[in-house]
Amino acid sequence: MNIAVLLFFLHNILATALLGYKFVVRKDPIFKNLGTALLLDSAAFVVWSAAVILKPSNLELFVTVGAVFFIASLVFLLITGTQKVSASTKGILAVLGVIVGIALFLTRTFIYPSAPAFSSEGLFFFNLHPIVTMVYIFGLLLTAMPAIDAAASKFEQPYSALVRYGFIIEVAGGIILITTADIQVLNIIGWVMGAAYFSLWSILLFNRNAWKNLE
């Protein structure tokens, strides 16, 4: 077992769970929906971490279950970024997001299934089909970027910059993780993502000034 890989997944569980809780308990629907998305991501990482630890023969099943939580998180990110539109438009986008999410799940599971595997160095690769990778990237960018902007704009500086660029690093890092197999690149981006998540949860969890005047 590659300890660095395990620690990366475990820290992602911790970070998304702590940040998710911190956001979801707020009254503001932007924070609440973002928090829900993060908690769903945490659930996905729990499943994928179990795969890293157990290395089961039915690895694809673990990846698929984690994908359910991840795709659901994209729907809540979509809802997060559309809070300022009219109620009717928001409802239409939410329904559309659910439909696309279901279609994406069916596509990545039955039409273009992945072939997850561990490398000789112990790295965990999802090995997504190029079509699925393309849709994931589009979906992540189209849902996460507006959600990040909506949440970050609620904070005052310097916390606004922390939220905006901290989460952007996670999105960019996630894209790199599913599009490259270069070990050096993966190691670097893993540490960068870990540092960004640590900064986010440690500051937003323990610095009360960050949440000043926020519901």
- The pLDDT of 99-119, averaged and rounded, is 95
Q: Given this structure, which CATH class describes domain 3-208?
A: mainly alpha
What's the chain's length in residues? 215
Residue 5 has which token pair?
A: 């890989």
In 3D space, the residue among 139, 165, 131, 153 whose CA is nearest the CA of residue 214 turns out to be 153
- The pLDDT of 136-149, averaged and rounded, is 97
Chain segment 6-24, per-residue pLDDT in tens: 999 999 999 999 999 999 9
Question: What's the mean per-residue pLDDT of the chain?
Answer: 95
- The pLDDT of 35-49, averaged and rounded, is 98
Pairing relation of β-strands 117-118 and 124-125?
Answer: antiparallel
Q: State residue 114 phi and psi, 5-degree precision.
A: -80, 170
Q: Which helix (H) or strand (E) holds 118?
A: strand 117-118
Give the chain's end-to-end CA distance (angstroms, integer). 43
- The pLDDT of 133-158, averaged and rounded, is 96
Contact 119, 125 (CB under 8 A): yes
- Residue 57's identity, in one-letter code, is S
- Using alpha carbons only, give the angle 70, 31, 28 rounded to the nearest 5 degrees: 145
User: What is the pLDDT confidence band of residue 158, given thresholds at 50, 70 and 90?
Assistant: very high
Q: Which helix (H) or strand (E) holds 125?
A: strand 124-125
Model pTM score:
0.96
- The pLDDT of 198-210, averaged and rounded, is 95
pLDDT at 83: 87
Residue 121 has pLDDT above 90, yes or no: no
pLDDT at 58: 94
- The pLDDT of 201-215, averaged and rounded, is 90
Domain ranges (residues) in the chain: 3-208
d(CA 186, CA 37): 24
Chain segment 49-90, per-residue pLDDT in tens: 999 999 999 999 999 999 999 999 999 999 999 988 888 888
Residue 120 has pLDDT above 90, yes or no: no
Q: Which residue has the higher pLDDT, 215 or 200?
A: 200
pLDDT at 213: 81
Say which residues have a Cβ less than 8 Å from residue 85's Cβ, sequence separation at least 6: 93
Residue 214 has which token pair?
A: 């926020």
Question: Distance of CA 21 to CAs 6, 17, 41, 139, Å?
Answer: 23, 6, 12, 24
Question: Distance of CA 215 to CAs 18, 24, 99, 163, 212, Å?
Answer: 18, 11, 31, 16, 9
- Using alpha carbons only, give the angle 151, 154, 159 rounded to the nearest 5 degrees: 85
Report CA Rg, the chain. Answer: 17
Residue 92 has pLDDT above 80, yes or no: yes
Chain segment 20-40, per-residue pLDDT in tens: 999 999 999 999 999 999 999
